[in-house]
Amino acid sequence: MVLSGQHRHHNYTLLDGELNAEGQSPPAQHPSRRTPLARFVMLVTLAAATASLAIVSLANPLSTGQGKESQSCDSVFNGYQCRPEISHFWGQYSPYFSVPSEISTATPSFCKVTFAQILSRHGERDPTASKTKAYNATIQKLHSKVKTFSGPYAFLADYEYTLGADQLTLFGEKSMIHSGIQFYSRYENLAKTTTPFVRSSGEDRVIESAQNWTMGFHEAKVADRSTSHGDAGYPYSIVVIPETDGSNNTLNHGTCTNFENGPDTSGSAQSTWAALFIPPIQARLNAGMPGANLSVTDTIYMMDLCPFNTVANENGTISPFCDLFSKNEWHQYAYYETLGKYYGYSYGNPMGPTQGVGFVNELIARLTDTPVKDETSTNHTLDGNRGTFPLGRKLYADFSHDNTMTAIFAAMGLYNNSKPLSNTTLTEASRADGYSAGWTVPFAARAYVEKLQCLGQREELVRVIVNDRVVPLPQCECDGRGLCRLSKFISSMGFAKANGKWDQCFS
């Protein structure tokens, strides 16, 4: 189905009883609107009317690495670098930042990229609906119980809770535009002459992220003086896969019963860690705001309010909430978020990696130009159709959520060379095979899977780059640049090829 311009304010609201990607039930006060359209895959065409790009500082995006953009501490090519010693330690609530890489991310001079797949998280957003209610309640409680706010807490006297729910913030929209520009720039040789094939999971903020990304890609293409090809394919079609109950959607988990209803140890892992690091923070806040009586949960919410208020500002200006906590406390908080993802969706959950298998089997199909073989979460109708799952393309872009991306990385066997994460000892990403929520699934996270043709190599090579960090792939005997032979990479995907543990989903 192709939707034209006037439909662009679509609302594919979550259906009854469904969990959204952050695992929250939809709020009771926002009754679901069950649109018949949401039952189908939609080819959404971005209206030409939306193409009036208001990206002021990006007039010449391909040379802005050090240009005007550097006046701000957020930039197209390096992401969010404002107070990195704290802002890179907000777990999945960190604004996108370029993660340090031990291996150069530059394409080796003797290689050329022949294929690139981006798997992206949506951009910065407001808190989920249930969280926004809970944060507001914490603020109301403070206002009703604390007589005077002084010292570092003085700003709270006038602080009003105004955050929305679930949708991208303006900062988040811009960061997706930046991502599209960065992708164009990195893969310029392919992007000049090709249009990416785009799919998105069906929640509003994800679709909008996909649209903003295509805007950035398009803008960069039009601005590229080395090409006179224009961009006739724009606005690009987007295949939207619904998040409705029972939908086979490789970009959003939801159909493996024993995973969805199964034991989730992430909450218990997180509370074990919270019991260790929160009490001193809680005591300090309660002493500084007599009468507040914040609980452990309230204290975590006070920390959450730092990233959420920061990304609610169009320029990403650091919120005063951030200064209530020390650098060390932000590392502890980041680890709290890491434990949630690891025990919820990665190797810490016996059924976690299986939720990413469908996407990995689609990736194998694209890398090898052969039909999808999968008996997990793929939709055979979609994947068997050249319109909705074309093979042989050079650029693919998929838009998803942090939780499903975490499962996909695990299904690929990334970050699999470390012991189960401790619930009592902080383990930094650099000591956990590169794994943390902040390094893998910050807002606007972007993983690239590249194929390269290199001099002296008959076979194509594969490289994986997550948020600008080249991920070493020992499972396929990668070389010092992180490059594996395609055949070895594919054989290392045995877990996905065997459908993970999908056979345990319903028993």
Ligand X SMILES: *[C@@H]1O[C@H](CO)[C@@H](O)[C@H](O)[C@H]1NC(C)=O
**Of these residues, 74, 231, 304, 402, which one is catalytic?**
402
173 in contact with ligand X (CB under 6 A): yes
DSSP 413-469: TTT-SSPPPPSSS---GGGTTT--HHHHSSTT-EEEEEEEEETT-SS-EEEEEETTE
User: How many Cβ atoms are within 10 Å of 162's Cβ, its own excluded?
Assistant: 9
336 in contact with ligand X (CB under 6 A): no
413 in contact with ligand X (CB under 6 A): yes
Judged by CB under 6 A, the stretch of 89-97, 103-111, 375-383, 465-473 that binds ligand X is 375-383
Integer Cα distance of 109 and 493 in angstroms: 28
Judged by CB under 6 A, the stretch of 58-66, 326-334, 420-428, 443-451 that binds ligand X is 420-428
In whole angstroms, how close is the CB of 140 to ligand X at the nearest point?
Answer: 5
Integer Cα distance of 87 and 321 in angstroms: 12
User: Are 12 and 38 within 8 A, CB to CB?
Assistant: yes
**Of these residues, 122, 178, 253, 331, which one is catalytic?**
122
Positions 47 through 66 that interact with ligand X (CB under 6 A): 50, 54
Cβ nearer to ligand X, comparing 100 with 474: 474
Judged by CB under 6 A, the stretch of 25-33, 299-307, 379-387, 453-461 that binds ligand X is 379-387
What token pair was written down for 285? 């806040």
In whole angstroms, how close is the CB of 101 to ligand X at the nearest point?
Answer: 22
User: How many Cβ atoms are within 10 Å of 330's Cβ, its own excluded?
Assistant: 24
Positions 198 through 257 that interact with ligand X (CB under 6 A): 208, 211-212, 215, 246-248
Q: Which of 228, 229, 206 is nearest to 121 (CA)?
A: 206
Positions 273 through 332 that interact with ligand X (CB under 6 A): 293, 295, 313-315, 317
DSSP-based helix, strand, coil % in the chain, nearest 5: 40, 10, 45
* Residue for token pair 């056979």: 503
Q: How far is CA 391 from the centre of its chain?
A: 25
Cβ-proximal residue to ligand X, closest one = 413
- Binding-site member from 174, 186, 205, 341 for ligand X (CB under 6 A): 174
Residues engaged in binding ligand X (CB under 6 A): 8, 40-41, 46, 50, 54, 136, 140, 161-162, 173-174, 208, 211-212, 215, 246-248, 265, 268-269, 272, 293, 295, 313-315, 317, 343, 353, 375-376, 379-382, 411, 413, 416, 420, 422-423, 495
